[in-house]
């Protein structure tokens, strides 16, 4: 289903991005990390994001995880438009809706070893 500006996602849509863009200002340069990303993920879908280094995976995860806000475009999480929320409102959403497992989980290793038989 094509999502258009002004639409609301269907109730079974957990994550929807519409023309999502993120630019980083680097001195006089602008880095276009994401240029208009459209994603729809439904309930119970299992999705992987793959791409070469620098293609914008972390930038996208930061936006989807409500750790960052887009330069432009829409992000809908569980039926709520979260792309234009304040930092405090995003913190509340992170607390309730989102789980993150970071790659650099070195602090977990000792814990796991201790508990191994
Ligand atoms: N904080 C930042 N400031 C400036 N540019 C950034 C910043 N973060 C990312 N970029 C740039 O945005 C683009 C996308 O980077 P990103 O880290 O999202 O890619 P990635 O797919 O996660 O790469 P990797 O596989 O190496 O982790 C790259 O050109 C990167 O240099
Ligand atoms: Mg990355």
pLDDT tens-digit profile of 48-100?
999 999 999 999 999 999 999 999 999 999 999 999 899 999 999 999 999 88
**In terms of C-beta distances under 8 Å and separation of at least 24 residues, what long-range contacts does 100-108 make, across chains too?**
100/65
> For residue range 13-35, what is the model confidence (pLDDT) as tens digits?
999 999 999 999 999 999 999 99
Number of neighbours of residue 67 by Cβ within 10 angstroms: 14
Q: What is the pTM of this model?
A: 0.88
Instruction: State which of 31, 37, 52 you would mutate to test the pocket of ligand 1, scoring each by most atoms of that ligand within 8 A of its C-beta.
Output: 31
Q: What is the CATH number of domain 13-115?
A: 3.40.50.300
CB 62 within 8 A of CB 17: no
Of all protein residues, the one whose alpha carbon is nearest to atom 14 of ligand 1 is: 56
Question: Which ligand 1 atom is at minimum distance from the Cα of 26?
Answer: 4
What is the sign, positive or negative, of the torsion defined by CA atoms of 76, 77, 81, 85? negative
CA of 94 to the centre of ligand 2 (A): 20
Q: What does residue 20 show for φ and ψ, rounded to 5 degrees? A: -70, 130
Rg (the chain; Cα; Å): 17
Where do the structural domains in the chain lie, given as residue ranges? 13-115
Q: Which ligand is nearest to the CA of 50?
A: 1
Site to substitute for ligand 1 among 25, 28, 54, most atoms within 8 A of C-beta: 54
């Amino acid at each position: 289903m094509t999502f258009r500006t002004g639409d609301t996602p269907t109730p079974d849509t957990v994550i929807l991005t519409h023309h999502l863009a993120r630019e980083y200002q680097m001195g006089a340069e602008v880095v276009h990390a994401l240029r208009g990303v459209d994603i729809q993920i439904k309930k119970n879908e299992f999705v992987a994001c793959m791409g070469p280094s620098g293609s914008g995976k972390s930038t996208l995860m930061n936006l989807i995880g409500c750790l960052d806000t887009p330069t432009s475009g829409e992000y809908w999480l569980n039926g709520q438009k979260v792309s234009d929320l304040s930092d405090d409102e995003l913190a509340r959403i992170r607390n309730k809706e989102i789980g993150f497992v970071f790659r650099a989980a070195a602090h977990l290793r000792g814990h796991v070893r201790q508990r191994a038989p």
